[in-house]
């Protein structure tokens, strides 16, 4: 189990990374995590997540890749029905960002 200090450190690192890589269009990686946190079972079809985000395809793909590589979400399934799901670390970051 992660300590609260580790979770907070992860949150601060994520926030800084997301701030520096936030697309100019207004959608952010943190917004993607928040959308997943509010979704049924904290997961959603990638194509639905993209539509809700309002982000251009390249910005969305970059954000999704960054979130996956950082361990905040997982992707599963074939490309046409791929599903994004929050990890425990992703849940911690979204919970901390709401406080």
Q: What percent of the chain has pLDDT over 90?
A: 60
Neighbours of 59 (CB within 10 A): 21
- Quickly state the pLDDT bin for 41 (edges 50, 70, 90): very high
56 Cβ contact partners less than 8 Å away, ≥ 6 residues apart: 23, 25
Which domains, from first to last, does the chain contain? Answer: 4-97 (1.10.10.10)
Task: For residue range 51-89, list pLDDT tens digits in order.
Answer: 999 999 999 999 999 999 999 999 999 989 999 999 999
Average pLDDT of the chain to the nearest whole number: 83
Tell me the C-alpha to C-alpha distance, in Å, between residue 21 and each of 32, 39, 55, 59, 87: 13, 24, 13, 9, 21
């Amino acid at each position: 189990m992660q300590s609260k200090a580790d979770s907070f450190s992860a949150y601060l690192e994520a926030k800084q990374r997301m701030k520096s890589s936030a697309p100019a269009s207004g959608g952010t990686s943190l917004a993607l995590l928040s959308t997943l946190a509010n979704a049924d079972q904290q997961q959603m079809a990638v194509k639905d997540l993209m539509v809700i985000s309002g982000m251009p395809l390249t910005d969305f793909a970059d954000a999704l890749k960054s979130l996956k590589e950082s361990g905040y979400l997982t992707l599963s399934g074939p490309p046409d029905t791929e599903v994004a799901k929050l990890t425990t670390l992703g849940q911690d970051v979204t919970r901390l960002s709401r406080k």
